[in-house]
Amino acid sequence: MTTVEDNPINGLVGLVEASASDMTRELARDLARFRMRYKFAIDEVSTKIAILREEFEHTHDHSPIEHVRTRLKSPDSLLAKARKIGCPLTLEALEQQIRDIAGIRVVCPFVSDVYWIMEMLGSQSDVDVVEVEDYIAEPKANGYRSLHLIIKVPVYLSDRAVDVPVELQIRTIAMDFWASVEHSIYYKYDGTVPTTLRDELGAAARTAADLDATMARLRSEVHGPVR
């Protein structure tokens, strides 16, 4: 009499399940190693920003940076982004098609600080500025203002160096406050925001832009040109 344990089909199913489990673990390890290089790129750029900030504070009368936030896309967010843009689920395709896996947001007191940070980072020999989207000079239709950069920095691994993209969002305190409120409203309404609220958000964006201009003018009158 053949027992369940002796059944060759049962043994084959167990082998397939074990192989699938091993494959899943291997894919998870590959994805973890893949995301690690983006974490290292965040560390690299964060260090550069910290150095610029400290140097500036020692030579000028204000800090050009209010605060810095970093973000590394989670595996779930990465998968969702890939599906949204129709990107094949391979590490090679993710690397080529998704450039905001690593993200850094820099919030500054003044608009002039925003452009100064872009200029200082872009002038460094190991920073490659791949793309610039200036939503300060040309705000989005909804009033959103910010400076977006895609830069690449070298990450030195144990066996090779790889150039890794990092998305930089640089904006003022007023821009950041507006964007935070706008995001929470769109999240609450699941993207379908009533017209009256959209109009108010547009008006608030113009107010934020006026505030940035006024504060820059007042500072210039008291302290002279920033740089």
Element (H, E) at 171: strand 161-172
Please confirm, yes or no, whether 167 is among the known catalytic residues.
yes
Among residues 138, 167, 182, 200, which one is catalytic?
Answer: 167
Whether the Cβ atoms of residue 165 and residue 145 lie closer than 8 Å to each other: no
Matching residue, tokens 């260090």: 47
Contacts of 112-116 with C-beta under 8 Å, sequence gap 24+, read: 112/216, 112/226, 112/227, 113/64, 113/65, 113/172, 113/226, 114/147, 114/170, 114/171, 114/172, 115/147, 116/64, 116/227
Whether the Cβ atoms of residue 165 and residue 130 lie closer than 8 Å to each other: yes
* Burial of 177 from C-beta contacts in 10 A (0-12 / 13-18 / 19+): middle
Matching residue, tokens 């040109």: 225
How far is residue 214's CA from residue 110's CA, in Å, rounded to a whole number? 10
Whether the Cβ atoms of residue 100 and residue 84 lie closer than 8 Å to each other: no
Within 8 A by CB and 6+ apart from 152, the residues are 127, 128, 130, 163, 164, 165, 166
The catalytic residues are 167
